[in-house]
A and B are shown apart, each in its own frame.
Chain A
Amino acid sequence: MIRVQQLTKVYGTTLAIDRLEFSIERGEIVGFLGPNGAGKSTTMRILCGSLGATSGSAQIDGLDVFEQPRAVKRLIGYLPEVPPLYTEMTVRSFLRFCARVKEAAEPDRQVEQVIERVGLSSVAHRLIEHLSKGFRQRVGLAQALVHAPRVLVLDEPSSGLDPAQRVEIRELVRELSQGETTVVLSTHVLQEVEAVCDRVIIIHEGHIVAQDSVEALSGSGTAIQIRVARPGPEVLAALEGVEGVVAVQASEGGRYRVSASTDVREHLAACVVPFGLLELSGQRALEDVFLRLTGEAA
């Protein structure tokens, strides 16, 4: 559905993305993961045709984004980081405008459907400028969905939403992908990736540093952070003695980082208690992978 080859974007002298290559199948949910400024938004904006690339190519459903922008834009629904809204309009009239500009097949009916679907019925008659951030985000989502696009590109869809609304968005995304919609979403909330994505593309400083399914990336292992009051070589030995532990790294302040093939938190806790156990936290594996790949590990 989406094919990106050697995609490069240079802003002035800064290299935003460097020769990205990936492809996404129909109905897949793919998460772009990366620290701020990694190039996620740039990639998404290029895919959606609001930004030109310096070199390389991008195709959506066999259509070239740069050669046939109009045809491509008909297939895409895009929610940027800041939802693009005309705040002086009511929700319904705004969505009607979007439906017409985006060439929805049956604009008025699709507007009512999308209002229902993203839960905007109670505010449909209100001015967008009077809505809370959560509702504005929903209007942004509705705007991306209104013409029933085959590809949905969501830049940080859950930012500014409360936990209940995040769950709703995730459910909506999953529901959409069952209906053959391909979804690309960017986020730095790792739980979100684990919860909805089939595949993850980790981008760092304009490069793809990893792309694989969520399971393959996280493996079965875990990483555990421990802090004890009285560090020393005995602690290291004790930790390494626990069955399932692959590696132990000691750092300042009595901190240890334990990599294990299985969840060994209970055994670890038991063996470090004599040294004055202060903290023990299990880090999810994907987080560990992410931090390691983007070079932000402690």
Chain B
Amino acid sequence: MKVLYIAGRELRAAFTTTVGWIVLCGWLEITGLFWVLLVSNYAMESQNLVFNPYAGAYMNLTDYLLSPFFGNCAVILVMVVPALTMRTFSEEFANRSMELLATSPVSTAEIVLGKYLGVLGFVLILLGLTLQYPVSLLRWGSPDWGAIAGGYIGLLLLSSVLLAMGIWFSSLTKNQLVSLILTFVVALGLMVLEWGSRSPDDWMAQLSYMSHLSEVLQGAIRLSDLAYFGGGVVFFLLATHQRMESFRWS
């Protein structure tokens, strides 16, 4: 129960700070821009079909519109998440407000989980707001709902692991900027790791969330990918818990 109070406070704080609103507006603007570009591109390509009717067999909403859209959203999330998680612990260290929860009848696990669920809630709102784009397709076409579901599940899995990592970085420093940069750099590093891999099975590809994400975005939810994301969340939340406990006993 107290986990939810803490999560609720965290979520409300995101909406009463400038950073929260900047992230929200920026997210809507950039995803909206991508969507409009993709749709107009799709429309132009469709007109070209007049000259090449056979190509029509390959052109569909999933491959030409939804997949690139979710791929772009994933990249934006990599930038959004650090801005959301930087506050979680760093701000409390800097303001010395951690004493409140530390001396309340709440366990460290409840504090970590509450903060995690709070920022996860914010990301759920961000993702929920983008539902308007695929839903708008209903008027003109019949999108593949499986692909849409796969896309959202993929984005959710990606954000859940990035948020857990961001919270951990935030628990390491009282400087929000340091937390932001560390989270962003490591998230970016994990992303580009895939580009350097020779085959989809070598360690670089396996360590990168991009290779796991692309499977999910294509609608194939494998156990190994779920294990990757789930394991990442558990690992970083435990690390944060450990960090907070060692703080107390240092």
Contacts and interface: CB of A to CB of B under 8 A. Distances in A.
24 contacts: A11-B250, A45-B99, A49-B102, A50-B98, A50-B99, A50-B248, A52-B248, A73-B104, A73-B106, A78-B99, A78-B103, A80-B99, A82-B96, A84-B97, A86-B9, A86-B13, A86-B97, A88-B17, A89-B12, A101-B2, A101-B101, A101-B104, A101-B106, A103-B105
Given A50-B248, A52-B248, A70-B105, A101 B99 contact: no
Contacts of A51: 248
Contact of A98 (B13, B98, B100): B100
A48 B98 CA distance: 13
Interface string A54-87: 0000000000000000110110101010101111
Nearest to B18: A88
A116 to B, nearest CB: 22
A275 interface: no
Contact of A50 (B5, B6, B102, B250): B102
Interface of A: 11, 45, 48-52, 70-71, 73-74, 76, 78, 80, 82, 84-89, 97-98, 100-103, 143
Contacts of A78: 99, 103
A101 B103 CA distance: 10
B136 interface: no
Nearest to B100: A84
Contacts, number: 68
A74 B96 CA distance: 21
A80 B95 CA distance: 12
Contact of A88 (B13, B100, B103, B249): B13
Given A45-B99, A103-B105, 4 more contacts: A82-B96, A85-B95, A89-B12, A101-B5
Interface of B: 2, 5-6, 9, 12-13, 16-17, 95-107, 248-250
Contact of B249 (A52, A73, A74): A52
B16 A84 contact: no
* The 6 residue pairs across chains A and B that have the minimum distance between CB atoms: A84-B100, A50-B102, A52-B249, A84-B97, A73-B105, A48-B103
Contact of B103 (A49, A71, A100, A103): A49
Contacts of A82: 95-96
Contacts of B102: 49-50
Given A88-B13, A88-B17, A97-B9, A50 B97 contact: no
Contacts of B97: 84-86
Given A85-B97, A97-B9, A76 B248 contact: no
Contact of B16 (A89, A97, A143): A89
A105 to B, nearest CB: 13
A73 B9 contact: no
B173 to A, nearest CB: 19
A290 to B, nearest CB: 27
Nearest to A93: B12
Nearest to A48: B103
B248 A101 contact: no
A200 B220 CA distance: 70
A78 B98 CA distance: 12
B250 to A, nearest CB: 7
A102 B250 contact: no
A102 B5 contact: no
A52 B249 CA distance: 5
A176 B241 CA distance: 36
